Amino acid sequence: MKMMLPLWIIDPVSAEKKLDGLASQGKKLVSMGFFGNCTFEDAAPRKVHHRIVLEKGGLKKGTAAKGWEELCSGKLFYVTCNENTDEDISYTSYRTLHSILKMLCFFMICGCIGMFSGMIMARVDMEKETLFVMPDTLIYSLIMIAVGAIWAAFIICDKKMPGETTKMGGYMKTIPEENFIYDKATEKRMLKEKTMKMAIKPGWFYAPDKAEQWVQDMARQGWVFYRFDPAGLCFYFLKEESAKLKFVVDYQNVASDEYYQLIKDEGWKLEFTSVSRTMGFTIWTKRWDDDEEEPYFYSDIADEYTRAKRLTLTFGLTIALMIVVCIGLMVLYFTTLAEDDSLPALLEFVIVYTVITIEYLIFLIRLIGYFFRVKAKTK
C-alpha cells in the first residue's frame, strides 16, 4: 500500500495521527520519502504513537531505551513509534525550522508590499479604473496572498504541537500568562494613582546593557519591574520597597523548550520572549537579598561577548543595509525622479527619509557602543 503525506514538514502532528490510524488498521510504515511518499505493509493491528523526527542520524540509543522503535529513516529525518503514549519527543526542530520559514515569509510580504506601494505611487497619474488591474500589481498581490496563507498555515500547525513548557499571553504571545497579575481596568487605575509607572523606550534593545542597569536602578529606587507590553517597548513598574532585581537580556539563535526550562530551574523568571523563537530576545529577572551574592546569568564574560558579537552582527548588518537603501533612494530621487515634483513633495520626501536615516544611524551607534563595552570587559 502506498500513500502521500506531502505536508508532513508543515503539519507533523496531523501526519503522525494519520500513521497512528493506519497502524491500528494493520498497516505498518516501512519507508517514507522526503516529499511524503509512504509505503506500508500488512501487519498485526497495533495501538502505537508515531513521531516523525526532523533530525539526522536516526534513532538515538537513549530514545530507543524509552521504548521507541525506528520504522524508517531518511537523510534529514526518521520515523519512530512507541506503544507508551506517555512518552514523547520534542518538536523543537520543527519550531526552529518553522520560525525561520515564517521570518522568510514576513520579509517576502514586506518586499511585496514595498514593490506594490512603489508601483502605486508611480502610477498616481493613471486612471483609477486601470490602476489595480496592471499585470505586475496583480502578480505581487497574488504572491502576498499565497505567502500570507503559508505563514498562517505555519502558525496554525505550530499550535497543534504539544510540549510547550511556557504558556504565553498578550496579543503577540510574547509575555508569560502568569505575568499579567492585574487586569486592564486595575492597571489603568494604578497608573492614575501613581502606584504603577509606564516608560516607553523604543530601540532600547540595541543597548541592552544600559537597559539592564536602568531597570536595576529603578528597583533600588522602589520602582520594581512588573511587565512589558506585548511589543517589548513599554516598561511597567510597581511602587514597592527598594529591591535588588537582576534584569538580563539574552539573545538566542534558537530558544527551545529545554532552554526555557533550564533557566527557570536556576530561579530566573521569564519576562518576555520574541515572537520568533529563532534569532530573538528572551528577557529574565531574578531577585536577591542582602545576604546573597548578586546572580549572574552568563557563566563568564567570554559567553556574554559571544552573544554580544552575534547580536551586533545580526542587527548591525541589517541596519547598515537599510541606511544604504535610504541614502540610495534619496540619491536616486534627486538625480532622476525629482525633476517634475513640487516643492512640498520634495520637502516631504527629504524630511521622511532624513528622519528614517537618522533613526537607523542612532540604532547602529547604540549597537556598536554596546559591543565595544562588552568587549572592554574581556580585557
Tell me the average pLDDT of the chain: 84
- Please check the confidence at residue 154 and state whether its pLDDT lies above 70: yes
Judged against a pLDDT cut of 90, whether residue 365 lies above it is answered with yes
Mean pLDDT of 5-28: 91
The pTM score is 0.63
The per-residue pLDDT for 128 is 47
CB 96 within 8 A of CB 252: no
Task: Please give the average per-residue pLDDT across 115-141, as a whole number.
Answer: 58
Q: Output 116-125 pairs: Cβ under 8 A, ≥24 positions apart.
A: 116/140, 116/141, 116/144
DSSP state of 86: T
Q: Distance (Å, rounded) from C-alpha 306 to C-alpha 314?
A: 12
Could you give phi then psi for residue 51, rounded to 5 degrees?
-140, 130
Instruction: List C-alpha distances in Å: 349 to 127, 131, 222, 292.
Output: 24, 23, 46, 56
In order of 38, 78, 82, 283, 336, the CA distances from 72 in angstroms are 10, 6, 14, 40, 61
Grid cell 505567502 is found at 147
Report the alpha-carbon distance of residue 318 to residue 312 in Å, rounded: 10
Sheet order of strands, 49-53 included: 49-53, 78-82, 69-73
Residue 273: how many CB atoms within 10 A of its CB?
Answer: 23
CB atoms within 10 A of CB 28: 19
Q: How confident is the model at residue 234 (pLDDT cuts 50, 70, 90)?
A: very high
- Grid coordinates standing for 365? 551607534
Q: How confident is the model at residue 310 (pLDDT cuts 50, 70, 90)?
A: confident
Q: Yes or no: say if 23 and 49 are a contact pair by the CB < 8 Å rule.
A: no
Amino acid identity, residue 377?
K
pLDDT at position 265: 85
Give the model's confidence band at 79: pLDDT under 50 very low, under 70 low, under 90 confident, else very high: very high
Using CA atoms, how far apart are residues 43 and 29, in angstroms rounded to an integer? 10
CB atoms inside a 10 Å sphere around CB 15: 21
